Chains A and B, each alone.
Chain A
Amino acid sequence: MSLQPLYDVKARLEQTAIAGVGLLGEDFRLRRAAESFKPLAAASPVFGRIDAGLDKLLSAPPGEQTGLLLDLLALVDAVAYTQAKTGGTGELFPLTGGPGQYQELSYSRLHPLLTALTGTGGGRMNQLKDTWENHPKFFSDYRVLSALIAGLGDSYSDLAELNEFILKEQGAWIVPFLKEGFDPSGKKEMARRVEVVSALEGAAATPWLREVLPLAKKDVRAAVLAALGEDPENVPLLLDLSKTERGANREAVLRALTKQDGEEVRAFWTAELTKTEASVAFLQAAQTDWAAALVAQGLRNRLENFILRGEQVSTGERGELGNWLASMGGKAGPSSAAFWRWADEHAADIAGLKNNIGRPLGFEENLSNILLYSLCTAGPGPLCELCRELWGNHRDRTHYFPHALLSALITCPAAEVYQEFSPYVERSSGVRKAQALKDTFKYVFWNQKEGCYQISHNYFHVLAHVSTRATSLAAPLDRRWFDLLLKIPDMGDILRRLVPPEDTELCEKLVAYQYRNMLNGSFIQEDVAYLREHGWTDWRGFLDKKVRKDGSLTTYAVVRLLNETSLTGPEKAEELRSLYKIVQEQHIAHKRPTWPEQRVQEQIAAWEAE
């Protein structure tokens, strides 16, 4: 029995309600539907009731129509529910269990995370970072994981990159999730999926990468090409692709080839650098001996050329030189050691190079920095010996002091290092000593997560997980270093990184140091925060000297510093009043501009009201 007449009647009744019962008399479609329904009326009592209801409705006076219409709708709906099918016919393909995990995450934990991953607007990055920091296991939940993968396409690229980082930390078990629904002609989201698969599977991803390569387009193609570099088996394919790919895709091929080794690859790069010098930038990440040799030789040739030529170095040439030097970063093979020795022997010539307006090029400083960067990246090894050797040759200069001291710190026992290097520091004059120590210890930090001291060229990158290029010290720092460091002014930032939070003795010393600095007027907001966090309470007059010394200090900056203290509102108001007095006195004496009085008074009033 076809129920279509029932559904037709239902649709017409609903339409009547939308159009208004006022038009019921003219509704020929409803009449036609009612006529079509008649044959069903005999099929069951309930259909009979509907039929009778339709007749009644169509002949009802205006005052009764609405009630009858709704009663009839209720009846028709009820019958429709009774007659509803449940579907699902056809061949059933059973669901196979996914590889994910299930975590018992309550709404209050899961919803903010899913909203951050799938929503829009501000605060999402913070939510994700916070969850990753405090509850990394939440991300392995299958509900979060699918949102995390979808979040690779987030229009907020920083957030998409964070998602990518988190996915890479999950492990290879998530790879099936990434391959599920992968679209080779997709956009950035799919390209990031390829990057994650490549990071998790390495060379094992090759079959899948080769499978998707013919269909891959734009960003995805570039990502696939770069990922092929994880497998040495792909070298012949990559060499072929270097001839056919163009633009960003060819750059991806070059990046892939920097990870490979062998004579073919060396020959390719030799030819590539001869043809396109700018391609040397791709060799920055290459760690192979051939790459180090090629870059070292290329850089040396260029420097020799400039020294021999004796002319000024043009801006363009300087840029190219910078590219070659940047590519030397992180390289630690014998070729690079030979280069550094050569550079040391020709230090005077290099220092004599002039820029296009006849001023010193200052390239020797860049060289020193890159050597330091390479040391921090490479860790213990031949570069350490080289640095100590260079220092040994030039003990009269501080130039190689940080290199040598850092090399010693990552290879020798702490006491031994102190005994070797502290005499030099003690002998040096104040400023020179301070600078040498600053230049060294700015690369050293206490990694709370790892529970050890490390060196890195960019400590922020290490802590933010942007880079993992950090080398641990051979042993914890000799505590006597702190006695030296705590005597040097403006070391608050470095010392805060060096003092482990649970080392109460050092923390106390640092608090005393920060307070001394504060009274001298040389401090920043982080110093004040450190003191407050360590229970400092004596804030009276702490800003006086700073305000006197620094005429450019604004009310905004002062209010922020005061807010960082543990002073109560009225106490802060009192401090601000006294500081404003100092400013006014200096202003009258024509030593500085004054502060906007209205702003100061408003702030004082606000604090006093607290």
Chain B
Amino acid sequence: MELTEQFIFLQAPNPAAAENGRKLSKKGSFSGLHKTGDSTLYWAECAGSGKTPYRVSIDWTDPNAPVCRCSCPSRQFPCKHALGLMFEQLADRAFDEADIPQDIADKRAKQAAKSAKKESAAAPSKPKKPNAAAQKKKLAKQLEGLDMAEKMVDDLLSTGLGALGGASAQTYDKLAKDLGSCYLTGPQTAFTRIALAVRTVQKEPAQADRAYAEALRILVALRSTIKKSRIFLQDKLEAGSFTPEDSALFEALGGVWKLEDLRAIGSFQENVRLVQLSFDISFDEAKKEYVERGWWLDLDGGNMYQTLNLRPAKALKYVKGDDSRFGLLEVPTLYIYPGEGDRRARWESVSARPLTAEEQAALPRLAQPNLAAAIKLTRGAIKNTLAPKFLAVLIPIGQLGKVEDDFVLEDPAGDRIVLRDRPEDGPDHACTRRLAILPGEIPTGSALFGLMFYDEGDRSLCLHPYSVVTPDRIIRLHY
């Protein structure tokens, strides 16, 4: 693993901590720089505000997951001192070779013993058997909740979405919470989203059309979820099957996939090479959480994946943030969520390295054959009532230009699509206009990555561009 600035920032709990670490390194706060002969442990002293300097060390036994230790009282982990020590390494400061300090050797041994114990505990002798009675009860409760959700939908449409406001919106909020008690957090969130959309209408009447369209889209999806889930859950109840299944409904109802469950249903791939095409962060008002989304291209299969790092606003400090990644990630096991379209993926461990020239050149060749193919895929995906109304696509570029005020992509076959920002993503995701100032000319053989979506405004399929993938580099329009 090559130590890079990006790697240090990814270790940091927040960008400020990394910047503070860099400042400590820059102003020469570190002294007594040492490392072991095998370069797996680096340690030093760092001047703090107190009399005695902090003792800080980084254990690189696992190069992808360094263990940072520091005697400072900071609750941030790793602290700025440990990050600063990484910057010292990055700056190629001279570290004297020395024997490992006894206290760190002891901690290392303790850590190794702990890991070994964990590993032995993690290797299950036999698969865990779910508690059938409890699961049965849960399924029954969910079915009960679905009836309640259906009634809520009926009531809502009987009086009309326009009547949902003020006191009635609060009533729906309360009822939605009851759905949560029935293990139906998916439908619960859907109702919260509908109430939010209607509130938008009240706050900004100019946005009424878009907000009502959004509310209706959620209602349609909710109706579909209720109908399909009822059959899904009843089948499970009758069959006495209580394990998670390869179905998008599990998540639509509010289920949370664990990696072992994904492994159990065989939804994983091994030795995957991924390249991030774009990254963005948005705030989910309904769930009160930040959604950190990365778009990834599988270098071998050409599949598109998304990673979602969810950080509840209330626990923002305690959940590590994600960030843009450059270069290539080698993923030993890639866990893929059930569903269609842009499937969500996760991993336990990963190693990063720069892209080779060949790998970079191969990226645009992984684009859809042409615009027509991408459109066909998108139409197929967004027709699914449970799927989001956009699809991430990589389209070969014939040329990029403007037709009057619209930015337009023309593929090599001469087919065109209008490029515009997806209104639902908000102004902080606006990046189409940046195409006009894109640095340099776009070489032949490049592709454009973006989200294809249906724009109710002019009933057209459009593309929200996020990155230009050339044979030499990826130029991000956003993050």
CB-defined interface of A373-389 with B at 8 Å, one 1/0 digit per residue? Answer: 00000000000000000
Which of B220, B404, B417 counts the most chain A CB atoms within 10 A?
A: B220
Total number of B residues with any Cβ neighbor in A under 8 Å:
79
Query: Chain B 232-273, CB within 8 Å of chain A: the 1/0 string?
Result: 000000000000000000000000000000000000000000
Spot the interface stretch: B56-64, B138-146, B299-307, B319-327. Answer: B319-327
Asked if A104 is at the interface (CB within 8 A of a chain B CB), the reply is: yes
* Residues 83-111 of A contacting B (Cβ, < 8 Å): 83-102, 104-111
State whether A70 touches B473 (Cβ < 8 A): no
- Any B CB within 8 A of the CB of A2: no
- Report whether B160 and A177 are in contact in the complex, using a CB–CB cutoff of 8 Å: no
One digit per residue, 1 when the CB lies within 8 angstroms of any chain B CB and 0 when it does not, for chain A 97-130 equals: 1111110111111111000000000000000001
The verdict on B442 contacting chain A, using a C-beta distance below 8 Å, is: yes
Contacts of B461 in A (CB 8 A): 81, 84-86
Segment of B112-120, B125-133, B359-367, B375-383 engaged in the interface with chain A: B375-383
Is A74 within 8 A of B418, CB to CB?
Answer: no
- B441 contacts A92, C-beta separation under 8 Å: no
Q: Mark A129-147, 1 if CB is under 8 A from B, else 0.
A: 0100010000000110110
> How many Å lie between the Cα of A74 and that of B389 in the bound state?
12
Q: How large is the interface on A (under 10, 10 to 19, 20 to 34, 35 or more residues)?
A: 35 or more
Contacting pair B49 A566 (CB below 8 A): yes
Across the interface, do A18 and B161 meet the contact criterion of CB distance under 8 Å? yes
In the bound assembly, the distance between CA atoms of A449 and B220 in angstroms comes to 63
- CB–CB A111/B479 < 8 A: yes
A462 proximal to B (CB < 8 A): no
B475 interfacial contact with A, CB 8 Å: yes
Q: Provide the bound-state CA to CA distance between A610 and B439, in Å.
A: 53
CA distance A17 to B154 in the complex (A): 11
> Would you call A92 and B401 a contact (CB within 8 A)?
yes
B399 touches A107 (CB 8 A): no
B158 touches A14 (CB 8 A): no
Chain A residues contacting B407 (CB-CB under 8 Å) are 95
Contact status of A109 and B15, CB under 8 A, knowing A87-B416, A134-B22: yes
Query: Interface of chain A, helix or strand or loop or mixed?
Result: helix
Determine how close the nearest CB of chain B comes to the CB of A513; give it in whole angstroms: 21
* Interface 0/1 of B156-174, CB less than 8 Å to A: 0111111100000000000
A608 sits at the interface (CB 8 A): no
User: What is the minimal beta-carbon distance from B445 to any residue of chain A, in angstroms?
Assistant: 16
- Taking the complex as formed, is B153 at the interface, i.e. its CB lies under 8 A from any CB of chain A? yes
Given A86-B460, A89-B416, A94-B401 in contact, is the A108-B321 Cβ separation under 8 Å?
A: yes
CA distance A134 to B25 in the complex (A): 12
Q: Mark A394-431, 1 if CB is under 8 A from B, else 0.
A: 00000000000000000000000000000000000000
Task: Answer whether residue A477 sits at the interface, using C-beta atoms and an 8 A cutoff.
Answer: no
Tell which of B22, B154, B217, B416 touches A92, judged by Cβ atoms closer than 8 Å: B416
B324 in contact with A20 (CB, 8 Å)? no
Point out the residues of chain B lying under 8 angstroms from A82, CB to CB: 379, 383
- Complex Cα distance A111/B476, Å? 13
Task: Tell yes or no: A326 within 8 A of B by CB.
Answer: no
Tell me which of B160, B216, B279, B454 contacts A80 (CB under 8 A).
B454
**Hey, which chain A residues are within 8 Å of B154, CB to CB?**
63, 66-67
Say whether B323 contacts A94, CB under 8 Å. Answer: no
Residues in A with CB closer than 8 Å to B106 are: none
Query: For residue B440, which residues in chain A have a CB less than 8 angstroms away from its CB?
Result: 97-98
Task: Looking at the assembled complex, report how far the CB atom of B328 sits from the nearest CB atom of chain A, in whole angstroms.
Answer: 13
A98 and B162 contact, CB distance less than 8 A? no
Closest to B26 in A: A134
In this complex, the member of A82, A91, A108 whose beta carbon has the largest number of chain B beta carbons within 10 angstroms is A108
A143: contacting residue among B51, B324, B409, B434, CB under 8 A: B434
The residue among A97, A110, A111 with the most chain B CB atoms within 10 A of its own CB is: A111
**Residues A70 and B157 in contact, CB atoms below 8 Å apart:** yes
Residues of B within 8 A of A110 (CB): 324, 479
Cβ-closest chain B residue relative to A145: B437
Is residue A71 contacting chain B, with contact meaning CB distance below 8 A? yes
Question: Counting chain B CB atoms within 10 Å of each CB, which of A7, A84, A91, A177 scores highest?
Answer: A84
User: Among the listed B401, B437, B441, which residue makes an inter-chain contact with A142, where contact means beta carbons less than 8 Å apart?
Assistant: B437
B159 touches A20 (CB 8 A): yes
B160 contact from A17, A77, A81, Cβ within 8 A: A17
Q: Is A223 an interface residue (CB 8 A)?
A: no
Give the one of A106, A110, A145 with max B CB within 10 A. Answer: A106
The reply to whether B408 and A92 contact each other, CB–CB distance below 8 Å, is yes
The answer to whether B459 touches A142, judged by C-beta atoms less than 8 angstroms apart, is no
Cβ–Cβ contact B158 & A95, under 8 A: no
Least CB distance from A81 to B in Å reads 5
A489 within 8 A of B: no
Q: Is B224 an interface residue (CB 8 A)?
A: yes
Closest CB in chain B relative to A360 CB, distance in Å: 49
Contact in complex: A84, B162 (CB < 8 Å): no
B47 closest partner in A (C-beta): A535
- Residues A17 and B216 in contact, CB atoms below 8 Å apart: yes
- Does A88 lie within 8 Å of B408, measured CB to CB? yes
Cross-chain contact B438 with A95 (CB below 8 angstroms): yes
Neighbouring A residues of B435 by C-beta, 8 Å: 95
A18 to B154, CA, bound (A): 13
A86 touches B383 (CB 8 A): no
**B176 interface residue (CB < 8 Å to A):** no
Bound CA–CA A143/B438 (angstroms): 9
**Besides A134-B26, A566-B49, 4 new A-B residue pairs in contact (Cβ under 8 A), listed by A number:** A17-B212, A62-B158, A108-B14, A566-B51
Please name 9 pairs of A and B residues whose Cβ atoms are closer than 8 Å in the assembled complex, sorted by A: A74-B223, A88-B406, A90-B403, A95-B402, A98-B436, A98-B437, A100-B439, A107-B479, A130-B19
Contacts from A to B (Cβ < 8 Å): 7, 14, 17-23, 62-63, 65-67, 69-71, 73-74, 77-78, 80-102, 104-112, 130, 134, 142-143, 145-146, 177, 180, 532, 535, 537, 566, 568
> Which 4 A/B pairs are nearest by Cβ-Cβ distance?
A20-B160, A88-B416, A108-B15, A106-B324
